[in-house]
Amino acid sequence: MNDPNGLCFFKGEYHVFYQYSKEPQGGNKYWGHFKSRDLIHWQEAPIFLSPDKEYNKDGVYSGSALVQGEKLHLFYTGNVKEPGDHDYIYTGRQHNTVHVVSPDGERVASEEVLLYNKDYPEGLSCHVRDPKVFAYEGKYYMVLGARTKEDRGQVLLYASEDLEHWTHIRTFEILANFGYMWECPDLFEINGQWILMACPQGLPSSKYEFQNVYSCGYFLMQGDFRKDGYLTEYIEADFGFDFYAPQTFLQGERRLLLGWMGMPDADYKNPTAALGWQHCMSCFRELDFQKGRLIMKPAGEIASRITSRIPLGEDTGLQSIQVEEKTLDMVCRPLEENLQVRIFDTVQITYEKAKGEVVLGFLQGGYGRTERYCKCRELETIEIVTDASSVEIFINGGEKVMSTRMYPEHTEKIEIKGLVKGEIGVLSF
Ligand code: FRU
């Protein structure tokens, strides 16, 4: 599996569609489907969309959902590779924007191609994909990720009155060279700030920036996105190994985000591929915007599963804590300048105030994952959410996050070096 798609809360249920392929190393893409009433218990639903049409035969690629009354509208990219000698970037590929209407999230009532490559603005390569649709002040808007013929990443903005006829109204880009393609855009307002999330590809990597092969982050938007709004700062959404193609949606007042815990074309591996499956999703994260940054916290439903709490002693600088579950939600505040946390026999998280960084590394079980760095002048709190093969590290109340897959052999202990105040919440599902 890869990207989450069509996230929504519809008729009392959460729906997670996702990029699904039948081969563990990736094959033709379907929309798989899970649903839940409480974000905790998930039920697998039948495959929702298959690459069985002329306009999507090489993949039902990523897209989004919009709830309108009793109907669920879904938008995706139909991927087609034409026969012949093509590079599939500048020639030979169709990326069709498709609209699906469903009464219940399981049946397709209608399906129609809205935009073909010929309908996109001039100057683009064949890569135009991942529609995210939303309603705002009486109109509908769609953002699409794009790559120009000159290999610049852009996001196209379309507007519609009826979800069927769409007009290109603007293109977002930045003047500096900032990658050749921006995948999976999402445009939303949070706490008074408009944010354009996207996954730019082709950014030069350095110690603290763009450490992964592809980046995943957000631009702050200044001004009205429909008129003169423009992109200012770009901030990375995650500093770990495995986080990509996130998507947000509204459930009542709260905006939730789900990301794919994977990274396309990474040189590290997941041993489960040999067993016939690969990858997972992050935990659901609740978003806010404070002090110029997107804040991501584990959705409250996670802490509601804490069945016991192990207090962390303040009086010893070295603790080895026995744990019986792999699902943990540990929150602590360092009382010294340095902190080291070892998760099972696998992940090591180190904060050194003098260096002003948090380092995520592996004792073993990283399958090619080395180290990732996150600048952090003052570590005030750290929250670590673990599952059987994943760790998500929320720094300073969710100002920065580091997410990674991990493959432990032994899972019976957590070790902490450095005085801390806090506790390990044991999660039961
Ligand atoms: C991101 C992505 C999307 C595309 C999908 C195909 O991981 O490349 O841009 O729609 O995956 O599976």
As averages over each run of 10 residues, the pLDDT of the chain (429 residues) reads 98 98 94 98 98 98 98 98 98 98 98 98 98 98 98 98 98 95 98 98 98 98 97 98 98 97 98 96 98 97 97 89 97 96 98 98 98 98 98 98 98 96 96
Q: How far apart are CA 281 and CA 270, in angstroms?
A: 14
The whole-number pLDDT of residue 337 equals 96
Identify the residue whose C-alpha is closest to ligand 1 atom 9: 183
Per the CB < 8 A criterion, the answer to whether 154 and 200 are in contact is no
How many angstroms separate the alpha carbon of residue 427 from the centre of ligand 1?
Answer: 32
Beta bridge partners of 87: none
How many angstroms separate the alpha carbon of residue 321 from the centre of ligand 1?
Answer: 40
The whole-number pLDDT of residue 86 equals 98
Chain centre distance of CA 284: 10
Q: How far apart are CA 81 and CA 378, in angstroms?
A: 50
Q: Indicate if ligand 1 lies below 6 Å from the C-beta of 5.
A: no
Per the CB < 8 A criterion, the answer to whether 52 and 30 are in contact is no
CA nearest 239: which of 207, 270, 264, 286?
207
Q: Amino acid identity, residue 169? A: I
The whole-number pLDDT of residue 393 equals 98
Q: Which atom of ligand 1 is nearest to the CA of 63?
A: 10
Q: Indicate if ligand 1 lies below 6 Å from the C-beta of 96.
A: no
Q: How far apart are CA 20 and CA 335, in angstroms?
A: 45
List b or e across 217-256, with b for residues whose CB sees 16 or more CB atoms inside 10 angstroms. Answer: bbbbbeeebeeebebeebebbbbbbbbbbbbbbebeeebb
The whole-number pLDDT of residue 206 equals 97
Q: How far apart are CA 47 and CA 17, in angstroms?
A: 9
Per the CB < 8 A criterion, the answer to whether 275 and 256 are in contact is no
Chain centre distance of CA 275: 24
Identify the residue whose C-alpha is closest to ligand 1 atom 6: 61
Q: Which atom of ligand 1 is nearest to the CA of 264?
A: 7
Per the CB < 8 A criterion, the answer to whether 77 and 97 are in contact is yes
Q: Which atom of ligand 1 is nearest to the CA of 3?
A: 7
What six digits make up the tokens of 25? Answer: 């190393």
The whole-number pLDDT of residue 35 equals 98
Burial of 24 (0-12, 13-18, 19+ CB in 10 A): middle
Helix (H) or strand (E) holding 36: strand 30-36
Q: Indicate if ligand 1 lies below 6 Å from the C-beta of 29.
A: yes
What six digits make up the tokens of 100? Answer: 């699906």
The DSSP call for residue 30 is: E
Q: Which atom of ligand 1 is nearest to the CA of 77?
A: 10
Q: Indicate if ligand 1 lies below 6 Å from the C-beta of 56.
A: no
Q: Indicate if ligand 1 lies below 6 Å from the C-beta of 26.
A: no
Answer positive or negative: Cα dihedral of 428, 6, 100, 263: negative
Q: Indicate if ligand 1 lies below 6 Å from the C-beta of 61.
A: yes
Beta bridge partners of 135: 140
Catalytic one among 3, 130, 242, 387? 3
The model scores a pTM over 0.75:
yes
Q: Indicate if ligand 1 lies below 6 Å from the C-beta of 129.
A: yes
Q: Which atom of ligand 1 is nearest to the CA of 145?
A: 9
Q: Amino acid identity, residue 296? A: M
Q: Indicate if ligand 1 lies below 6 Å from the C-beta of 97.
A: no
Residue to probe by mutation, ligand 1, list 1, 60, 61, most atoms within 8 Å of CB: 61
Q: Which atom of ligand 1 is nearest to the CA of 62?
A: 10
How many angstroms separate the alpha carbon of residue 231 from the centre of ligand 1?
Answer: 23
Q: What is the largest CA-CA distance in the chain?
A: 70
The whole-number pLDDT of residue 143 equals 99
How many angstroms separate the alpha carbon of residue 61 from the centre of ligand 1?
Answer: 6
The whole-number pLDDT of residue 314 equals 82
Annotation marks residue 3 as catalytic: yes
Q: Indicate if ligand 1 lies below 6 Å from the C-beta of 331.
A: no
Q: Are strands 124-136 and 139-148 parallel, antiparallel or unpaired?
A: antiparallel
Q: Amino acid identity, residue 61? A: Y
How many angstroms separate the alpha carbon of residue 331 from the centre of ligand 1?
Answer: 34
The whole-number pLDDT of residue 317 equals 85
